[in-house]
Amino acid sequence: MSRKSNAQSLRILHIGRIDEAHQALWDQLQREGIEVIFARTQRQGLLMATESQPQVVVISTVDAHCSGVRLCRALGRRLPNTRRLLVVERGMTTNAPCEQRLVRPFTDRKLREVLFGLLAEAAPHVLRVGSLQLDLVTRTLNGPNGRRHLTPKESDLMAAFMKHPNQVVSRKDLMDLIWDTAYLGDTRTLDVHVRWLRQKLEPDPGRPTTLVTRRGVGYVLIVPELATVADEVEEGLPDDPDEVPD
């Protein structure tokens, strides 16, 4: 996990066939510091969305022979704060739930305008993972213990964990990110802040089940809701082919 990956970066996930007419725009957005990631199939896209937590997901149904209904619904359940942009062919009818639709053909200017509008709506200062919600501006955490106010360092720690749910975040990365040091000779301050965070997060801080220690490595934020994403993938997304045709 790098410092860059923990920054409050803007992230767009594109699912489906990439329209070469707009490749230059995707390249330009990445040069501007907006992370753009691509998934070829809907199944792969659902998994990548859960892992990467994008602010905007672009679902292209072009040449995919699917309506995108199941995928849009799944994204709405898993990532309620993520905005969905559905790209469809002219004359195509679909009742897929989404925040915006674009009908081909459209210009780079129009696509950019819609994307930036959705990014603004997504409120990147608010992180939502499972039943947890963290406002990075007010530093308030909503979770099993209700609404709790965090200190600046606690908020930074919680954000680091929420951006990597169900993944081990190493002590080294945390020291580098939060305290801007690679020195691991004394990590007691990290231990203390994790303990304080557990007091606000865990029903029983002495027996943590949400923010768990991986001895000798670091910590992992357990989010059971995201761990069940495989079950949803196994539902088949029957309107999604194994590969989106070229």
State the average pLDDT over residues 38-62: 91
Give the pairing of strands 211-214 and 218-221: antiparallel
Which region, left, alpha or beta, applies to residue 49 given φ > 0 means left and ψ of -120 to 50 means alpha?
Answer: alpha
Which pTM was predicted? 0.54
**67: helix, strand or coil:** coil
Convert the pLDDT of each residue in 229-241 to its tens digit: 445 444 545 445 4
* Percentage, residues of the chain above pLDDT 70: 86
CA nearest neighbour of 94 among 106, 103, 105: 103
* Residue 238 pLDDT: 47
Question: 98-108 as b/e, with b when 16 or more CB fall inside 10 Å?
Answer: bbbebeeeeee
- CATH code of 131-222, in short, is 1.10.10.10
Convert the pLDDT of each residue in 171-189 to its tens digit: 999 998 888 887 777 788 9
Convert the pLDDT of each residue in 217-227 to its tens digit: 999 999 987 76
- Could you state, in order of their start, the residue ranges of all structural domains in the chain? 3-124, 131-222
Q: How far is 82 from 244, CA to CA, in rounded Å?
A: 23
Convert the pLDDT of each residue in 120-146 to its tens digit: 787 667 788 888 999 887 889 998 888
Asked if residue 59 has pLDDT above 90, the reply is: yes
* Residue 129 pLDDT: 86
Same fold for the pair 3-124 and 131-222: no
| Number of C-beta neighbours around residue 37 at 10 A | 16
Before 97, cis peptide (omega within 30)? no
Dihedral of the CA atoms 119, 121, 125, 128 (nearest 10)? -100
* Residue 241 pLDDT: 44
* Percentage, residues of the chain above pLDDT 90: 52
State the average pLDDT over residues 182-198: 88
State the average pLDDT over residues 34-61: 92
Q: Which one is predicted more confidently, 122 or 96?
A: 96
Asked if residue 202 has pLDDT above 80, the reply is: yes
* Residue 183 pLDDT: 75
Q: In terms of C-beta distances under 8 Å and separation of at least 24 residues, what long-range contacts does 148-151 make, across chains too?
A: 148/200, 148/201, 150/197, 150/200, 151/196
Q: Which architecture does CATH list for 3-124?
A: 3-Layer(aba) Sandwich (3.40)
Torsion sign, CA atoms 66, 72, 77, 82? positive
State the average pLDDT over residues 184-204: 91
* Residue 124 pLDDT: 62
Angle (CA) 220-223-227 rounded to 5° is 105
